[in-house]
Amino acid sequence: MFKIERMDKPSYPAILKIPTTASETYTLGELLKMASGKLTKASGTDVPLYVSEQAYVAPASGNEDLSVHRINSEHEYRTTFAADGSSRVVGDKVTIHTDGAQITATTSSGVAEITKKLGTGASGTEALVRF
């Protein structure tokens, strides 16, 4: 899960309602991108645009819009390492895990900049990141 930890300029981001992809499951705090005008999970080297503000399972048809907030470079997000990130240091840019809710320890074409490790960086420990 990605949740806002700090903001350079204190102001809560606006909640937007954006169309969802049919038959996709969304989780609270999941990173999202746009594909064909609809939200879908961001992972790997995808540059995320939004963070989900709710859990939702979209049906095959008649799906609802999802509540999200836009990623902002002035926001710092708290998340967890999905893999052993003990060798990662502040300033490293890592990729997004396939679940869209965590970071990996992979730096090749990384998109999430580590701003602080909250522990050793072992799998499951928390870190702060910016996009």
Domain boundary among 70, 89, 110: 70
Q: What is the pLDDT along the chain (131 residues), one digit of tens a residue?
A: 999 999 888 777 899 999 999 999 999 999 999 999 999 999 999 999 999 999 999 999 999 999 999 999 999 999 999 999 999 999 999 999 999 999 999 999 999 999 999 999 899 999 999 99
Domain boundary among 34, 53, 70: 70
Which pTM does this prediction carry? 0.92
Domain count, the chain: 2
Whether residue 6 lies inside any domain: the answer is no
Domain that holds residue 38: 13-70
- pLDDT, residue 13, reads 84
Three-class SS of the chain:
CCEEEEECCCCCCCCEEECECCCCEECCCCEEEEECCEEEECCECCCCCEEECCCEECCCCCCCCEEEEECCCCEEEEEEECCCCCCCCCCCEECECCCCCCECCCCCCCCEEEEEEECCCCCCCEEEEEC
- pLDDT, residue 26, reads 98
- pLDDT, residue 11, reads 75
